[in-house]
Amino acid sequence: NRYKMVVLEPLNKLLQHKWDSFAARRFYLSFFSYFIFMAIFTVLAYHRPLQLQSLFPTEFTAISFLQLTGQIVVCLGGFYLIIAQGLYFSRRWRNLKNVFSDGCIEVFLLLQAISLLLSAVLYIVGSEDYVPMMVFSLLLGWVNMLYYTRGFQWTGIYCVMIQKTILRDLLRFLMVYVIFLFGFAAALVTLTGHAPPTSQNKSVTQEDGDKGHVVYSGLLSTSLELFKFTIGMGDLEFQEQVKFKYFVLLLLLLFVILTYILLLNMLIALMSETVTSVSGYSKSVWKLQRAISILEIEKSWLWCPRRRQRSGCFLSVSLDDKKDERWCFR
């Protein structure tokens, strides 16, 4: 129903007027600021020191000053993101289901801010574990650039199709695939026994005559080997000395049939069907997302216009000499 409401008149014209009058400028300013923030964050992460250093450099050079300034800017950006997203979820905590159905960018923004601040804390205390958190925040930061595609129609509709495909088809495929992967990995590990001492619980390649034969030992290494079959890069060769070698080969063939042939083709078919069905109302979904952005801009605690924004024009509607002026939209 929300998708249909935003395209009805006069609501459609009202939202378009709000977007053209003030929301577009605020939205593009936010996009430019976020892009600058991510550019600074990327440069800092790329040129990070290989060894931990003190927070404040002992010698203030031009490079150290720029690095310290960039760190302060990134930390301030992280605080702003976590406060802004906290206010967003506090306003919509009763409709969290709609938050996930409209897109998960807001959730990703919150995770990005939390991981960024956690990385800063780990860096201050001198722990090298700040690197994975920083990389995770950096990755989410660039993924969250998809939020600003809703400001443009041709990219906003395309992003809507991607979100619907991921939430509908890809998540269901991954749930079924993980079940198959774990089940077959457990079966192969049980059948082939433990790894030799030199392999250190990993899939290794045997030397000399047994080179190229895969050892299935450990759930993680076996799952990685089975994943290669899913993308068509697996090898059906296995050790001759393993027990039940023909049954192992049968399991591998069955896994290939279920995942590479069946599940992947079903995923492609379902994604094609989803894109076809979503294309009929993707423009309405994009307008709904833009309407949500307009409302958030109006409620933003950093957006304080000097005068109240009114849509329409102030006209006289009286038929006689009485003064009767009202705000009219059309």
Lowest model confidence (mean pLDDT) among 108-117, 207-216, 249-258: 207-216
Which pLDDT band holds residue 37 (cuts at 50, 70, 90)?
very high
* CA neighbours closer than 13 Å in the CB half-sphere of residue 306: 0
- 146 and 27 fall within a common domain: yes
Give 99: exposed, middle or buried? Use CB within 10 Å, 0-12, 13-18, 19+: middle
* pLDDT value of position 176: 92
What mean pLDDT do residues 4-14 have? 79
Which pLDDT band holds residue 182 (cuts at 50, 70, 90)?
very high
Across 58-84, b (16+ Cβ under 10 Å) vs e yields eeeeeeeeebeebbeebeebbeebbeb
Picking from 44, 119, 39, 117, the residue whose alpha carbon sits closest to that of residue 81 is 117
Whether the per-residue pLDDT at 199 is higher than 50: the answer is no
Dist. CA 283–CA 279, nearest whole Å: 8
Q: Which own/partner pairs from 111-117 qualify as long-range (CB within 8 Å, at least 24 positions apart)?
A: 111/140, 112/81, 112/137, 112/140, 112/141, 112/144, 113/78, 113/79, 113/81, 113/82, 113/85, 113/137, 114/82, 115/140, 116/41, 116/74, 116/75, 116/77, 116/78, 116/81, 117/75, 117/78, 117/79, 117/82
How many CB atoms sit inside 10 A of residue 104's CB? 17
Lowest model confidence (mean pLDDT) among 20-24, 116-120, 154-158, 186-190: 154-158
- 29 and 143 fall within a common domain: yes
Dist. CA 67–CA 73, nearest whole Å: 10
Which pLDDT band holds residue 49 (cuts at 50, 70, 90)?
low
Residue 110 lies in a domain: yes
- 92 and 187 fall within a common domain: no
What mean pLDDT do residues 58-85 have? 83
Pairing of strands 313-316, 325-328: antiparallel
Residue 74 lies in a domain: yes
Identify whether the C-beta of residue 71 lies closer than 8 Å to the C-beta of residue 77: no
Encode pLDDT of 89-138 as tens digits.
777 776 666 666 665 778 888 899 999 999 988 888 878 888 899 999 99
- 113 and 182 fall within a common domain: no
Give the chain's mean pLDDT.
Answer: 78
Dist. CA 125–CA 21, nearest whole Å: 47
Whether the per-residue pLDDT at 161 is higher than 60: the answer is yes
- 146 and 175 fall within a common domain: no
- 137 and 206 fall within a common domain: no
Whether the per-residue pLDDT at 58 is higher than 70: the answer is no
Which residue segment(s) compose the domain that 120 sits in?
Answer: 23-151
- 192 and 147 fall within a common domain: no
- 176 and 138 fall within a common domain: no
Dist. CA 278–CA 41, nearest whole Å: 35
Give CA torsion, residues 46, 137, 116, 99, to 10 deg: 150
Lowest model confidence (mean pLDDT) among 13-17, 39-43, 141-145: 13-17
- 143 and 177 fall within a common domain: no
Give CA torsion, residues 76, 137, 129, 121, to 10 deg: 20
* pLDDT value of position 142: 92
For the chain, how many structural domains are there in total?
2
CA 176 to each of CA 165, 189, 262: distance values in angstroms, whole numbers, following the listed order: 16, 20, 12
Residue 309 lies in a domain: no
Top mean pLDDT of 107-121, 153-167, 192-206 is at 107-121
Spatial neighbors of 316 by CB under 8 A, at least 6 apart, are 323, 324, 325
Residue 163 lies in a domain: no
Higher pLDDT pick, 78 / 106: 78
Q: What is the pTM of this model?
A: 0.72
Residue 318 lies in a domain: no
- 127 and 190 fall within a common domain: no
Query: If you count them, how many residues does the chain have?
Result: 330
What mean pLDDT do residues 279-302 have? 77
Whether the per-residue pLDDT at 172 is higher than 60: the answer is yes
Alpha helices (runs of H) in the chain, residue ranges in sequence order: 2-5, 11-18, 24-46, 62-91, 96-102, 105-124, 130-143, 153-165, 171-192, 219-230, 245-255, 264-278, 282-299
Residue 208 lies in a domain: yes
- 145 and 28 fall within a common domain: yes
- Structure token digits, residue 139: 């990755």
Higher pLDDT pick, 244 / 204: 244
Higher pLDDT pick, 262 / 61: 262
Residue 12 lies in a domain: no
- 118 and 68 fall within a common domain: yes
CA triplet 217, 234, 135: central angle to 5 degrees?
Answer: 75
Higher pLDDT pick, 181 / 242: 181
Lowest model confidence (mean pLDDT) among 33-37, 189-193, 223-227, 309-313: 309-313
Residue 299 lies in a domain: no
Dist. CA 85–CA 169, nearest whole Å: 28
* pLDDT value of position 246: 79
